[in-house]
Structure 1
Amino acid sequence: MKTLVIIPSRLSASRLPGKPLLKINGLSIISHVYKKAQEAEIGEVFVATEDQEIVEDVRKNGGEAILTSNLHKSGTDRIYEAVVKLGRTDVELVMNLQGDEPLMNKEDIQNLNSQMTGTKRDFGTLAAKISDKKILENHNIVKVITEESLDISKFPRALNFMRKLNKENNQTYHHLGIYCYKVEILKRFISFKQSQNEIKNRLEQLRALDNNMKINVALAKSSPIGLDTKEDFMAIKKIMEYKS
């Protein structure tokens, strides 16, 4: 059985509109993420988007993209439409790599895929250790609390996800923008209405927890900057230009 990697993306992000098409080293952010997913070599890669401009950009740079409805409430809902349109019957897992994570480590993507392959787990995701206390105060950075401390040999359940953290504990981590789930679990997820918790916090993963779905968390090697603000873009640009 195979893994599909699908990257949800749209231009109308509330905090930084148009961010998928911002360019670094002559390539759009969404195409950088696409190439990062390809480097992991875990399966075919597609971008799922409501915007024709993103479709054209991805295809221009050698990628594959699927045009979806503009009515979706979350990236996971958008991904399910893409999976249905693809109509693959040999897929076990769907990897949801957020379109604003151009610095995601390919080894972390591979690790999450390995942790989920051939198991009965519902959802898998990644989190990194918090090295800077400013992360705790930044509402743009999502935190996760796990049932036990993370290490490379554990894959514990997530207890909660939040933007604002009132009190830190030893099981608090920086949540990364990536998920992995079985196709039937994806179908079950989108059958649920948005929960009030999800809407209030703008975190789709809370819909899963609010409907008693289990999310297991693997420890990531790195803690990449996600792209939410102009300041994030400048920091990511500096890192990527230095590496090129």
Structure 2
Amino acid sequence: MTTPTTPAFSVLIPARLASTRLPNKPLADLAGVPMVVRVAQRALQSGAQHCVVAADDAAIVAACEAAQVPALLTRSDHASGSDRLAEACNLLGWPDDAIVVNVQGDEPLMEPGLIAAVARELHTHPDCVMSTAAHAIHDVADFHNPNVVKVVCNQAGQALYFSRAPIPWWRDGQSATTPAGTPAPALPHSPAALRHIGIYAYRVGFLKQFPQLQAAAVEQCESLEQLRVLWHGHRIAVHLAAQAPAAGVDTPEDLARVRALLHSGR
């Protein structure tokens, strides 16, 4: 079987020092290595030509440089990670047709293969400005959980809509309720419900334009930035992953979980 060719691509890692639930998160120690450095080391295994941390604080830049990880200082007042990456692309002078993958700085267990797959997905869809990833949902509780973002795709594998609501709604399979009034234990099977994975690839030219696009009301309603892209008529290709990647680090409990995994050698 022929293996798809992975195009040339780079990785940018947005890293913000302030965190409500886990202060100084990018510098959290993971087996003697700052978390953001762990993320960069993992991302380099994807085959990326370049891997650069876009930081909002000099302490992050210093930690990266000490580990020989390229990093640059960006403004501290960016509204989102996408804005930070747009500034980084301008500072780095990367060409508009280059492909950049956004790997979050709190994803130390991100699979390198998934990073490459998202870059490849965008490369093979020249009519799309972005790509992302999703995997099938098998747990009814996840399907109804608003913290689990869902995506529905068209026949070309492009996103139709992202939502925190359970979509697609399987009318005949989910119209009944339990005596407690909770949704019946059923999942749509055709099409399968898909959980969105928060990793994105961009064409640099579009990434530079994104911060200037008007925010969409539906984006603000769902609190999902990617809906701005669809609202303005652009297309997002979706790579279907076989399974969910390891969860990122948002809380002290998440940090303890990742530390335990690293300690066990998994």
User: Do they superpose with TM above 0.5?
Assistant: yes
**By how many angstroms is 1:91 displaced?**
5.6
**By how many angstroms is 1:142 displaced?**
2.8
Aligned residue for 1:181, secondary structure, equals strand
Distance in 1 separating the partners of 2:80 and 2:16 = 11
Long gaps (5+) in structure 2: 1-6, 170-186
Alignment of 1:106-145 (within 5 A): 106-117=112-123, 119-120=125-126, 121-145=128-152
In structure 1, give the amino acid aligned to 2:68: G
In structure 2, give the amino acid aligned to 1:206: L
Distance in 1 separating the partners of 2:147 and 2:42 = 22
Query: TM-score with structure 1 length normalisation?
Result: 0.86
**By how many angstroms is 1:101 displaced?**
1.5
Residues 82 and 63 (structure 1 numbering): CA distance in 2 closer, same or farther, change over 3 Å?
same
Aligned residue for 2:98, secondary structure, equals strand
Q: Does 1:165 align with 2:134?
A: no
Residues 189 and 125 (structure 1 numbering): CA distance in 2 closer, same or farther, change over 3 Å?
same
Q: Does 1:44 align with 2:50?
A: yes
In structure 2, give the amino acid aligned to 1:24: L
The sequence identity of aligned pairs, in percent, is 34
Distance in 2 separating the partners of 1:71 and 1:55 = 17
**Are the counterparts in 2 of residues 2 and 90 from structure 1 also a CA contact under 8 Å?**
no
In structure 2, give the amino acid aligned to 1:172: A
Distance in 2 separating the partners of 1:75 and 1:41 = 23
Partner of 1:228: 250
Distance in 2 separating the partners of 1:91 and 1:186 = 10
Partner of 2:195: 174
**Are the counterparts in 1 of residues 151 and 159 from structure 2 also a CA contact under 8 Å?**
yes
In structure 1, give the amino acid aligned to 2:159: A
Alignment of 1:69-84 (within 5 A): 69-84=75-90
**By how many angstroms is 1:55 displaced?**
1.2
**Are the counterparts in 2 of residues 128 and 176 from structure 1 also a CA contact under 8 Å?**
yes
State the superposition RMSD in angstroms. Answer: 2.4
Aligned residue for 1:71, secondary structure, equals coil
Distance in 2 separating the partners of 1:122 and 1:89 = 14
* Structure number with bigger Rg: 2
Bigger mean CA deviation after superposition, 230-239 or 207-216 = 230-239
Query: TM-score with structure 2 length normalisation?
Result: 0.79
In structure 2, give the amino acid aligned to 1:112: V
Bigger mean CA deviation after superposition, 108-117 or 67-76 = 108-117
Distance in 2 separating the partners of 1:101 and 1:117 = 23
Q: Does 1:97 align with 2:98?
A: no
Aligned residue for 1:40, secondary structure, equals coil
**By how many angstroms is 1:216 displaced?**
1.2
Partner of 1:152: none
In structure 2, give the amino acid aligned to 1:210: W
**Are the counterparts in 2 of residues 112 and 126 from structure 1 also a CA contact under 8 Å?**
yes
Partner of 1:151: none
Distance in 2 separating the partners of 1:102 and 1:159 = 30
Q: Decide which of 54, 63, 66 is 1:57's aligned counterpart.
A: 63
Residues 103 and 138 (structure 1 numbering): CA distance in 2 closer, same or farther, change over 3 Å?
farther
Bigger mean CA deviation after superposition, 28-37 or 198-207 = 198-207
**Are the counterparts in 1 of residues 96 and 203 from structure 2 also a CA contact under 8 Å?**
no
Q: Decide which of 202, 207, 214 is 1:193's aligned counterpart.
A: 214
Long gaps (5+) in structure 1: 149-154
Q: Which has the higher strand share?
A: 1
Distance in 1 separating the partners of 2:253 and 2:145 = 13
Residues 39 and 20 (structure 1 numbering): CA distance in 2 closer, same or farther, change over 3 Å?
same
Distance in 2 separating the partners of 1:61 and 1:31 = 7
In structure 1, give the amino acid aligned to 2:28: L
Residues 230 and 139 (structure 1 numbering): CA distance in 2 closer, same or farther, change over 3 Å?
farther
**By how many angstroms is 1:75 displaced?**
0.8
Q: Decide which of 198, 202, 207 is 2:223's aligned counterpart.
A: 202
Bigger mean CA deviation after superposition, 158-167 or 110-119 = 158-167
Distance in 1 separating the partners of 2:103 and 2:166 = 24
